[in-house]
Structure 1
Amino acid sequence: MIPRNLSSRLSLYGLVGVVAAAVHALVLLALGILIPIWLANPVAFLAASLAGYLGHARLTFRPETGGHSFARRWLIVQYVINLTVSALLPLALPAAIGEPVRVAILVFTPTALNALIWSKAARFSRRRREFTIRPLRHADDLGLSPATNQAILELAGQERLDSCSLLVNGPVAADGFDAWQQLTLTHPELQICLHLCLTEGPACSDPALVPDLVDSHGHLKRSFGQWFLLSLLPRRHPSRKRIESQLELEVDAQIERFRGFCGDRPIHLDGHQHIHLVPIVLKSVLARAKGKGISWIRLTEEPLPTGLPLRYWGDAVRQFGLLKWLTLQLLSRKARPAIHRCGLASNQSFAGVLFTGQMAGAPMLAAWKELSSADPQPGSTPPLLLAHPGGPLDIDLATVGFAVSQPFAASTWRQREWRALQDL
């Protein structure tokens, strides 16, 4: 005997399926009068997919979705898989099988696939509605400017931040760290990370010892792209070997400066502009992790958020956030096994690359919900939500070697991110 709840679920599934099939037939008949059938059929199938997408979310799987729609990605997945299978399956079936068997396979294979896809969509929706973990709120660039320090310190004092990253070569690094230390007297749970910087600002090592890393003013000059291209050179290439030795000096110097601030505590490390994930830099960091007391390295594996209006995705494409996201996804997935082999911890997931510099409003809320619904992973620290809050910029960063950060820090988005963290 079929249990009542399962019987009801099957009845609803069948009802939605019948409606979707009727939509397919009606749209196909209407469009078939105007356009060729080979073009009308995929459009009609899309209409049927949309009917199934809405019907199963609002009716069949209502207990899992709460009456809300599935994430849009499931409509795309269902449509692409079904079109592909419908096109290729007739070609793959052997001619020897009988016609009744062929028809049964062609009819029931998409039905079975749809049941699997919508069931997975329902489980996905349920996880998104059941917050299982609290992400950590993190701010980068303490020490970059008085305006940045002010925002980070006020947020931490209001318990709107859990951690920050210290830019040890920043113009006001000492002021920022001293104020942060004062906060830890009343908020001992606050954490601080070394924000390894190799793309701008004064070198922490003697500039004469790292001539390939600095300009004539002793400011670090190699961009993320240049470091990445350097990683592609053979390990025995003379330029790579020469720059690697200089990189080791600068990494050591920044670690020692951080030690001068923080003492002998274990070091949590991330990178300015995520430079620590570039293979040549990560290799240098991991090589000295044990000897220098590095215990944690940030990863940027960022799940795509759900429920965002399409215009935000357009912004992510136009502002190269999606390209940056893809690059750092690949680098993080490559880095994670190496980090764990060295016995270091890392965060289980992350948000803040896809909408870098514009983490406010809908993107921040969607990222927070996405991270909150993740299943805790043993051996990993909680998910990390990254923002770059700041007040109106009050110094000329270009004159102190931070020309790359000047337009970013001067943007009004710094204040918007500050407010967004206060409201989160």
Structure 2
Amino acid sequence: MPQTRMMKLVVTGDDFGYCPRRNQGIVDCFQAGGLSNVSLLVNATAAKEAADLAKRHNIPIGLHANLTEGVPVCESLQTDSTLVNQRGFFQGKMGFRQVLQRGQLSMKQVELELRAQVRLFTDLTGHLPQHMDGHQHVHVLPGVREVFAQVLSDLGISFTRVPVEAGLHSCTWLPPHLHRFYTQVEQDALDSIPVFTRYGIRWPDTYLGLTTMGQNMSVSNLQRALHLALSTGHSTSASGEDSDSAVTAELMVHPGYPSLPQQGGCGEGPDDFSQSSDRQHELSVLSNPAVLDMYRQERVQLCAFKDL
């Protein structure tokens, strides 16, 4: 049954710039009406091409701040810094978290790298990011979130992502290791809300995307996630708007064509997920006319962060 409340939905294609085939898939998805926003990895191998494509096709674009994959943008941090391993690469999704938990991560170096990535984004696109989130959700981690909020506040970047998804705990199809990781991401995100609020950072009322990634994306699964998001309404947002107004939401997606071996990534080549069929599966579902029809039936309007 169609919902009575309207939803303004930002569908964000993450990892823009990862490789030429990811870039092409994201552009194809945008042109098909399947996404409304992109998040750029500025240290990825095809970042300049991605920024040029966003300009050419007028795609709203923000920064996917990356502290876990590839090489730092800030040259002084590429050797002998707490952000990198002995090979000069970032520590990885779990390695970064382990260094942070051991108290060995320099927040000053985190700040230097975040500011360097914003500068490079501005050089590539000609403007500041319209929003800024974290690759592999690093922006909501303890300590990092304070630095992240300070940088956004200083630079006047209004929007970020708060990955708290309704229905995550009752999601039976996620493997245990992913369920554990996503549950920790959610707790970190909840703990970030007071920090982001204090700095005047904004985010949509609700979030979806953890339970609909890769092969878990389907028309019915997206509809389920949207219904849950609509029912929770203003659960995480600090907007305080009237409950009868439109719900705002962000759907995190990763469409693309499978990366070719040795082509793409952020300096170490593409990861397994990028080379798998999962990316193309997301592209196919998001571009499916049935999804676009479902949006219309559910009174979901796709938009960018600047439209919220």
TM-score (norm 1): 0.60
Cα–Cα, structure 1 residues 358 and 274, in superposed 2: closer, same or farther, change >3 Å?
farther
Q: Which residue of 2 aligns with 1:422?
A: 287
Return the letter of the residue paired with 2:271. Answer: Q
Counterparts of residues 152-301 of structure 1 (less than 5 Å)? 152-184=26-58, 190-206=59-75, 207-208=77-78, 211-220=81-90, 222-233=91-102, 239-240=104-105, 243-265=106-128, 267-301=130-164
State the 1:408 CA deviation.
0.7
394, 401, 404: which is aligned to 2:267? 401
User: Deviation per CA, 1:262-308, whole angstroms, max 9, x where unpaired?
Assistant: 334454111111111112221221222232232111110100079x9
Does 1:379 pair with 2:249? no
Counterparts of residues 335-374 of structure 1 (less than 5 Å)? 335-361=192-218, 362-374=220-232
Return the letter of the residue paired with 1:194. Answer: L
Question: What is the DSSP-based 3-state SS (H/G/I as helix, E as strand, rest coil) of the residue aligned with 2:146?
Answer: helix
Count of residues paired in the alignment: 279
Return the letter of the residue paired with 2:21. Answer: A
Q: Aligned partners of 1:150, 1:217: CA distance in 2, in Å?
A: 31
Contact 2:44/2:265 (CA < 8 Å) preserved in 1?
Answer: no
Query: 4+ runs of 1 displaced by more than 6 Å?
Result: none
Q: Which has the larger radius of gyration?
A: 1
Q: Aligned partners of 1:398, 1:155: CA distance in 2, in Å?
A: 19
Q: Aligned partners of 2:263, 2:109: CA distance in 1, in Å?
A: 25
Contact 1:140/1:387 (CA < 8 Å) preserved in 2?
Answer: yes
Q: Which residue of 1 aligns with 2:306?
A: none
Question: What is the DSSP-based 3-state SS (H/G/I as helix, E as strand, rest coil) of the residue aligned with 1:289?
Answer: helix
Question: What is the DSSP-based 3-state SS (H/G/I as helix, E as strand, rest coil) of the residue aligned with 2:282?
Answer: helix
Cα–Cα, structure 1 residues 294 and 402, in superposed 2: closer, same or farther, change >3 Å?
farther
Q: Which residue of 2 aligns with 1:140?
A: 14
Q: Aligned partners of 2:128, 2:266: CA distance in 1, in Å?
A: 29
Q: Say which is worse superposed, 190-199 or 413-422, in terms of deviation.
A: 190-199
Counterparts of residues 309-348 of structure 1 (less than 5 Å)? 313-318=171-176, 320-348=177-205
Return the letter of the residue paired with 1:197. Answer: N
Question: What is the DSSP-based 3-state SS (H/G/I as helix, E as strand, rest coil) of the residue aligned with 1:346?
Answer: coil
State the 1:414 CA deviation.
0.9
Counterparts of residues 39-54 of structure 1 (less than 5 Å)? none
**Percent of aligned pairs sharing the same letter:** 24
Contact 2:163/2:186 (CA < 8 Å) preserved in 1?
Answer: yes
Unaligned runs of 5+ in 1: 1-65, 67-127, 185-189
User: Deviation per CA, 1:340-382, whole angstroms, max 9, x where unpaired?
Assistant: 1101111211111234333421333322333345536672882
Return the letter of the residue paired with 1:326. Answer: T
State the 1:387 CA deviation.
1.2
Cα–Cα, structure 1 residues 209 and 250, in superposed 2: closer, same or farther, change >3 Å?
farther
Question: What is the DSSP-based 3-state SS (H/G/I as helix, E as strand, rest coil) of the residue aligned with 1:135?
Answer: strand
Q: Which has the higher helix share?
A: 1
Q: Aligned partners of 2:159, 2:266: CA distance in 1, in Å?
A: 30
Of structures 1 and 2, the one with the larger relative CO (CA 8 A, separation 6+) is: 2
Question: What is the DSSP-based 3-state SS (H/G/I as helix, E as strand, rest coil) of the residue aligned with 2:147?
Answer: helix
Return the letter of the residue paired with 1:279. Answer: P
Cα–Cα, structure 1 residues 170 and 208, in superposed 2: closer, same or farther, change >3 Å?
closer
